[in-house]
Amino acid sequence: MEILFEKIGTVAKITLNRPEKFNSVTKELAFKFQDYLDTCARDEEIRAVYLTGNGRAFSAGQDLVEITDPERNRGFEKILGEHYNPIILKIRNLKKPVVAAVNGVAAGASANIALACDVVVATESASFIQAFSKIGLIPDSAGTYFLPRLVGYQKALALAMLGDKVSAKEAEAMGMIYKVFPDEEFGEASWKLAVKLAAMPTKGLGFIKEAFNASLDNSLEEQLALEIKLQTQSGATEDYFEGVSSFVEKRKPNFTGK
Ligand code: LHQ
């Protein structure tokens, strides 16, 4: 299996699983990934997603052997339109938090899949490479959208053109990712984060995500109006009621995701 899916309590764990090929992405892997993201959207028991890679790498992007095989290369339009873009949109549109646990190098399309996740953490020895320019391509999988918004136009453009290897620590310092954990703590610390998110008010987190998605393009007026709408929806959830009640009653909240 090139990609693994496990439900552990209320967290869905998705593991890219071609370790000997640095978890590079084939057509089969991309389609199965989409299926698993659909499962995450459909299954109400799932309240957070944890995405990681097996072995030394997170993922090295498109499998370059696949695209150099004329019988397997489907062309850019299909590869981007049918393999990668739906993955990015499914992650962004999922009304649940997605943690990218970047366990090693993340290159090409896979660096940008990681950056499209909600909370991106990395192990200290991991790195991020916009590898595209080195083979004459442009950053895809929303790299040209998220990277300038994350790190600023100048830094993003230089990284895209030069294809520099950015260490996890540098990525954290420039705001590309949320946090770095030491290698020996990474597995447990990153997993804990997903478990913590899964126990929070799921609908509220989904509305936060919706608001942030929209804020990337909205005017101030549009965003303020959207905040009214989404705050009203958040305020109608059971978890909002539980959050306020537990505070007043001086007890720990028990959020159900409803
Ligand atoms: C790989 C790959 C790989 C296959 C490592 N494929 N085997 C979209 C649409 C259509 C077309 C094109 O692209 C896209 C989007 C993209 O993602 S384009 C960018 C594609 N990715 C890259 O250009 C990165 C290629 N990989 C690398 O530069 C290096 O492997 C990195 C820097 C990631 C890691 O370097 P090392 O730590 O030195 O490892 P390595 O190079 O020795 O790789 C380990 C193994 O993984 C090796 O296998 P082998 O059997 O030879 O030992 C590599 O061949 C294999 N591998 N990336 N993308």
Cα–chain center distance at 251: 33
Q: Does the predicted TM-score (pTM) go above 0.85? A: yes
Q: How far is CA 58 from CA 66, 158, 223, in A?
A: 19, 23, 35
Site residues for ligand 1, CB cut-off 6 Å:
21-22, 24, 60-65, 67, 76, 79-80, 105, 107-109, 129, 131-132, 135, 137, 140
Residues of the chain where predicted confidence (pLDDT) is lower than 70: none
Q: For residues 140 and 112, is the Cβ–Cβ distance under 8 A?
A: yes
Query: Could you identify the residue written with the tokens 């990153």?
Result: 190
| Rounded Cα–Cα distance for residues 159 and 147 (Å) | 9
Ligand 1 atom nearest to CA at 65: 4
